[in-house]
Structure 1
Amino acid sequence: MHLAQLPEDVFYHILGYLDYRSLSRFSQVCKTIYSFVNRDIVWRNIAKEFLNTGISGNGTDRYPKIPLKERVSTAQNWSHGVCRKDIPLRWRKNLLPWLQMDGNILFLSQAAEIRAHRVHPEGKRTLGQPFQIFSGHNDDVCRFVLNNSYLISSGSDGLIVVHSRRSRSQTKLPGHSQEINCLDSRDELIISGSRDATVKVWTLTSSSPRGTFSMFDRVWSIAIDPSVSSFAVGTACCRTPSPLHLWNIERLEHVCTLGSNFRRGAGVLDIVFESPFQLLTCGYDTFIRLWDLRLTSRKCVMEWEEPHDSTLYCLQTDGNHMMASGSSYYGVVRLWDKRQSQCLQVYELSAQRASSPVYCLRFNSSHLFAALATSLHSLDFRHSPSSSS
């Protein structure tokens, strides 16, 4: 019997013993084998072991439209630092830009505007010209988030602006008395935090907050958990012993403070929920920390230290093994594999004479974008070093 004539479940079982190199070679045997081996189901278990293939720890798929075999191939470049560097955008004034991605659309804040650019899958130009511009603030945009058909932004003017991406209408909320450093939104909920040391809870349809809470310290970061049952708040850690607090959304009550013995000023600048029970944080104390939020634990279970003692401004995770962090000096982006204690790859994006923090970074299956004070940098992991700029 020809191998391809075996029942499919038996064939799948046999292929499960092959690694990615063997599968790639086996796919070259004939057209029938090639077609069978290229199915996502063959690559799914292998993809879980690689960086940024889109298969998260709970089994969800971030990039369902991209074949898994192609993602595993690109994952080799993420692991080995093989990429093409580019600077698709520059601007003259020093800014504190922020980024979000929605599929092949990159949203970038520049001063009081947020601009939407399409990411080109192929070709020399990484980004197209902005096809949509969101405005409405009287001062610089500090943060913005995407929530289905809405873009919600906060600014130095203390306002929250809810933009409809479909109708282009907007609603302004009189947010805080000082600049709003952070906000997050899921479902109908908006939560904002400000330099005025307060956190406010809103809904998309409300003109006044459901609740206002004093944190007794400047608020730098906020994140709502995926189940929309709790949210985490990161503060400056100047007036309180810990910068990290967990709140219940339904009861609008303080649940607990995470960690202790933080040094003064060890503020949390970015927070990422990987699941309702797993939280990643980074900030002024140069550590990335993974917190277990289950009731019996609620403690830091792993940590990774920035080797040059630099503040970590931002963080993103692929939901599985990979993390990317942005440092305060020389535009340093680091890639981390959670299964290792040391940094996996380092990219220095700004010259020493024009050193800038990485204020925000975002990545998809093939690109990483990093926003610095005067430029946007791109790392394209589909390309070999010979095509690097």
Structure 2
Amino acid sequence: MFLLQLPEDVLYHIMSYLDYRALSRLSQVCKTIYHFANRDAVWKKIAKEFINTGITRQGKDLYPHIPLKDRVKVSQNWYHGICRKEVMLKWRINLLPWIQLDGDVLYLSQAADIGVYHLRPDRGRLQRSPMALFSGHQEDVCRFAVTDTHLVSGGSDGKILVHHRRNGFSVEYSGHNQEVNCLDCRGGLIVSGSRDRTARIWTLSSNFPRCTIPMNDRVWSVAISPTQSSFVTGTACCENFSPLRIWDVERCELLCCLGSEFRRGAGVLDIVYESPFHLFTCGYDTFIRSWDLRLSPRKCVMEWEEPHDSALYCIQTDGNHMIASGSSYYGVVRTWDKRQTRCLEMFQLSTAVSSPVYCLRFNTSHLYATLATTLHSLDFRQGPRPRRSHPLPQTAVGI
């Protein structure tokens, strides 16, 4: 009983020296230690070293309602690629679908509409019909962003629609001459990029562009900094300048270019801000790159190459150690540990038809990915379904 008589801060200090295996064994000693060893404070240090546990580099917990011990268990499946694959939705025609996650709600664009689906992670599938439907574009939706109050979408018709999530009221922003390839929305600020070779800055309070920036190249991706003082554009790299450029929001001026050794046509298809100082990009040159914006000059500090020389359409990070990427052929999704150069696992979502992974999103237990005609789910809480055992023929019984 001497161990249990120690002050709690001493017990925390002792347990901080244990790894996850030792903690799991210790929790089986008695009920009192079991309840103490299952506290999040005991597992927080361990969770920081595992991939996709919801603990960011800044120590922020993205999923405080899920016990850390359970997330560490599921993290082992992420690391070893143990999951159950499900096809959640199918449609007949080829589309360029985009998705966003908001807790247990998934937003999915199909042609000119955006459906809102309630997730049922216990069953690994969506509800049959959407809870809500946002429409208004005359052509397909290319990109959309979800905030606490609004859904902002850009379409092939060159229009931007701002939908209020609660009452469904929408406002049309008509400011691009060609399709809106990309947009981002953060804190009332909207930045859009188009095939018409311009990037435009908007606000939720006005449907007139605050600023139009000539880009001299098609804009494939944009991302607003968490500080909302700057944004990054990724272009098609068909001209003699870097496809990655950072712009000042207030002055609409170029702050700097990132990189200088991009080959022609190595367009940037996705940009992710992990913090105000760390940026991740991917595109046609088959690389994921990490940029440190605190350095002078700002430069790439790490890169990961797609092994099969495929273009990378989309990426997402967990804010700590993990990256997930979607490739251009056969729906290949890869997971990466930033502390390693080689990918952790590969998941091929399509074998019959070759389709890019147009978008992917994940939380601590599931990864969702969209292909041209399907929406897939990878459930990392459990392994693949066991194969059905076929009974022996009647003639073979007793042999």
TM-score class normalised by the smaller sequence = over 0.9
- In structure 2, the CA distance between the partners of 1:124 and 1:167, relative to structure 1 (3 Å rule), is closer
Question: Are 1:327 and 2:327 matched, yes or no?
Answer: yes
For 2:387 and 2:289, how far apart are their aligned partners in 1?
33
The whole-number CA distance in structure 1 between the counterparts of 2:201 and 2:240 is 22
CA distance in 2, matches of 1:162, 1:282: 27
Give structure 2 stretches of 5+ with no counterpart. Answer: 389-399
Partner of 2:377: 378
- The answer (yes or no) to whether the contact 1:84–1:387 under 8 Å persists in 2 is no
- Cα offset, 1:97, TM superposition: 0.2
Q: Secondary structure at the match of 2:209?
A: coil
Distance 2:125 2:218 in 1: 40
1:178-228 Cα distance to aligned partner (Å, 9 max, x none): 000000010010000000000000000112111000110000000011111
Cα displacement string for residues 270-320 of structure 1 (whole angstroms, at most 9, x for unaligned residues): 000011111000000000000111152400010000011100000000011
Question: Alignment length, in residue pairs?
Answer: 388
After TM superposition, the structure 1 = structure 2 runs for residues 145-224 of structure 1, keeping only pairs within 5 Å, are 145-224=145-224
Q: Which amino acid aligns with 2:109?
A: S
Is residue 145–residue 151 contact of structure 1 (8 Å, CA) maintained in 2?
A: yes
Asked if the contact 1:83/1:388 (under 8 Å) is kept, the reply is no
> What is the match of residue 107 of structure 1?
107
The residue that corresponds to 2:59 in the other structure is 59
Distance 1:304 1:295 in 2: 20
Residue of structure 1 equivalent to 2:337: 337
Partner secondary structure for residue 25 of structure 1? helix
Task: Report if the CA contact (8 A) 1:230-1:249 is conserved.
Answer: yes
Q: Does the 8 Å CA contact 1:84/1:388 hold for their aligned counterparts?
A: no
C-alpha separation in 2, matches of 1:12 and 1:295? 38
Contact 1:119–1:128 (8 Å) recurs in 2: no
Partner Cα separation in structure 1 for residue 45 and residue 357 of structure 2: 34
Bigger radius of gyration, 1 or 2?
A: 2
Quote the Cα distance in structure 2 between the aligned partners of 1:196 and 1:292.
Answer: 30
Partner residue in 1 for 2:281 = 281
Q: Match of 1:210, SS?
A: strand
Q: Could you say if the C-alpha distance between residues 387 and 106 of structure 1 is closer, same or farther in structure 2, counting changes exceeding 3 Å?
A: farther
Kindly indicate whether the alpha-carbon contact (under 8 Å) linking 2:110 and 2:140 is maintained by their aligned counterparts in 1.
Answer: yes
Structure 2 CA distance for aligned equivalents of residues 53 and 39 of structure 1 = 15
- Note the alpha carbon deviations across 1:230-281, whole angstroms, 9 max, x for none: 1110000001321100011132211011101211100000000011111000
Alignment of 1:341-360 (within 5 A): 341-351=341-351, 353-360=352-359
Q: Which residue of 2 aligns with 1:232?
A: 232
> Percent identity among equivalent residues?
65
**TM-superposition CA deviations, 1:7-53 (whole Å, max 9, x none):** 01000000001100111111111111111111111111100000100
Q: Go from structure 1 to structure 2 and tell me whether the alpha carbon gap of 1:125 and 1:299 turns closer, same or farther (over 3 Å shift).
A: closer
Q: Is the 8 A contact 2:86 2:124 kept in 1?
A: no
Give me the TM-score of the superposition, normalised by structure 1: 0.97
Over 3 Å counting, the alpha-carbon distance change for 1:9 and 1:54 in structure 2 is same
Structure 1 stretches of 4+ moved >2 Å: 123-129, 385-389
5 Å matches for 1:297-336? 297-336=297-336
Give 2:24's aligned residue: 24
SS in structure 2 at match of 1:354: coil
Instruction: Measure, in 2, the Cα distance between the counterparts of 1:162 and 1:306.
Output: 36
Aligned-partner residue type, residue 305 of structure 1: E
| Unaligned segments of structure 1, at least 5 residues | none
Aligned-partner residue type, residue 205 of structure 2: T
Give TM-score, length-normalised by structure 2.
0.95
Paired with 1:383 and 1:103, the residues of 2 have a C-alpha distance of 20
Which one-letter code corresponds to 1:272 in the other structure? V
AA in 2 matched with 1:375? T
Partner of 1:118: 118
